[in-house]
Amino acid sequence: MSGPRDFFRTDCQLMIFFVSLLAIVIQSECTAVDPTSLKNSSRLEVAIDSDAISGMGKPNSPVRFAAKITNPGNTSVTAKLDWSVNSVAITPAPEVDRMIQISHGKTEEFTKSVMLPAAGFVELTCRIQQNEKSKVIRKKHRVGCNPEKIHTPMTRQPDFDDFWKRSLAELRQVPPAFKSIERPDMSSDEIEVFEISMRSHAQIRVRGWLEVPRNTTGPLPAIIRVPGYGQNMKPTGKAKDMIVFSFNPRGHGNSQDDIPGEPSNFWIRGLDSPQAYYYRGSYLDCVRAVDYIASRTDVDQSRIAVWGGSQGGGFAFATAALDDRIDQCIADIPFLCDWINYFQLTHWPEMERWIADQPQRSWKSTLRTLSYFDTMNLADRIRCPTIMSIGLQDNVCPPTTCFNTFNRIPGKKIYRIYADKGHGLGKEHHAWVWKQLREAFHVPE
């Protein structure tokens, strides 16, 4: 005969049975779902390319851009497509939006032809939007032609030469007070590392890392490495046959005793006047770094190079322009070039906010100050051999601006264009530069 405890046990067993059965059904239904139905049915994938060989077309000829749009979802998608051209070399006719439809799992190609200029670069943007609430998909692609013939008027102010003559004279009035501290913790059996400090313009303390190969005889070539925007230059540990000075101008790396690195707003610091502008001091810091290298008896004074990327590329141009002791200039994806076209081709809210912050500021006054530090205006002073390398798809330092500096250099020069690279050229490029330096300075590999 069953008692209350038996009935309770039976009820619990039935409950467990039904819960288990329900879990099995739910699991079965979940595993039965077609995985393709889980795909994002509203997000299109876009890739854009052109028929320009290695990104370079023929002048005054059409180039064909192609946007391949893929719908990876399981439903057909309708979207709005439009094109826009960003270039200072051409003024294209306005485009009319069009509606497109991409079936599920399909890829469709849409094309547009653009007439290239006699010389210059053209960036085409393809924009896709499915509805007013959806995120716009943007893909850009840039091509060019005859970059070595790009030319824009210089923006030098009447006192430009006097400004730099006075600035260099002020630097010479500051005793450099070079100091060297050996760093065994950073050295190796092949390379000895030192932290070098010095005084620069306005008595600002700046530093860098010196690498000196051990067991060498005779003076060696020297490479001064200068930083990108906010970059902290450190020892490379690579050069066993050259002296390498990885230098940090004010506000960078180990040169922040007197000038802080944060906020990283270097390009608007002191921009109200050329005398107070950040880049006046940092350009002169780079010249002081050359002073240090020139003071060393183990450096071959006929084989001194300066090398940098982005802001460092601009520093390299400026250093070679302001100091004729530089024998080789390497500028990768250079910043600080051709400011007027720079602000036409790029958009930086930080600069716009800075100008709007004070009633006396304007684009005219801002560009006037920047003109003293525009490497395009300094370029005709560069007499040493120069190598410039760019990423054709660079949206931080557009190639047009880089070539408007490069093309004004009167000395021996070469350029290298990476058709698919943006604001960064990669390890293979760096290896190539080291090879170029060794060849230029006759250093056997």
In sequence order, what are the beta bridge partners of 100?
79
Name the β-bridge partners of 67: 48, 110
What number of other Cβ atoms are within 10 A of residue 241's Cβ?
Answer: 14
- The pLDDT, as a whole number, for residue 32 is 41
Furthest-apart CA atoms within the chain: distance in Å: 115
Query: What is the rounded distance in angstroms from the CA atom of residue 283 to the CA atom of residue 168?
Result: 10
Q: Phi and psi at residue 418, in whole multiples of 5°? A: -100, 110
Cβ neighbors of 58 (< 8 A, separation 6 or more) are 116, 145
φ, ψ dihedrals at 193, nearest 5°: -115, 140
Beta pairing, strands 98-102 & 77-86: antiparallel
pLDDT in tens, 354-379: 999 999 999 999 999 999 999 999 99
Strands (E), 239-364: 243-248, 299-309, 328-332
State pTM to two decimals: 0.89
| Torsion of Cα atoms, 199 then 260 then 186 then 297, to 10° | -20
Residue whose C-alpha is closest to residue 286's, from 325, 241, 235, 259: 325
User: Residue 128 has what pLDDT?
Assistant: 94
CA nearest neighbour of 145 among 403, 421, 406, 413: 403
Task: List the 107-115 sheet strands across, edge first.
Answer: 45-50, 62-70, 107-115
164-215 pLDDT, tens digit per residue, is 999 999 999 999 999 999 999 999 999 999 999 999 999 999 999 999 999 8
Query: Is 347 one of the catalytic residues?
Result: no
- Catalytic residue (choose from 310, 323, 327, 374): 310
**Side chain identity, residue 13:** Q
Q: pLDDT tens digits for 122-151? A: 999 999 998 888 899 999 999 999 999 999
Domain 160-440 has CATH 3.40.50.1820: yes
Query: 26: part of which helix (H) or strand (E)?
Result: helix 4-31
Catalytic residue among 141, 201, 423, 429: 423
Is a pLDDT exceeding 70 seen at residue 112? yes
Residue for token pair 């850009």: 140
Query: 310 an active-site residue?
Result: yes
pLDDT tens per residue, range 391-434: 999 999 999 999 999 999 999 999 999 999 999 999 999 999 99
Q: What 8-state DSSP symbol labels residue 136?
A: P
CATH 3.40.50.1820-classified regions of the chain: 160-440
Instruction: Name the pLDDT band for 42 (thresholds 50, 70, 90).
Output: low
Domain 45-149 has CATH 2.60.40.10: yes
* Pick from 92, 89, 134: nearest CA to 113: 92
Q: What is the DSSP string of 353-422?
A: HHHHTSTT--HHHHHHHHHTT-HHHHGGG--S-EEEEEETT-SSS-HHHHHHHHTT--S-EEEEEETT-B
Q: Return residue ranges of the chain for CATH 2.60.40.10.
A: 45-149
User: Annotated catalytic residue: which of 285, 327, 374, 394?
Assistant: 394
Task: Reply yes or no on whether 423 is catalytic.
Answer: yes
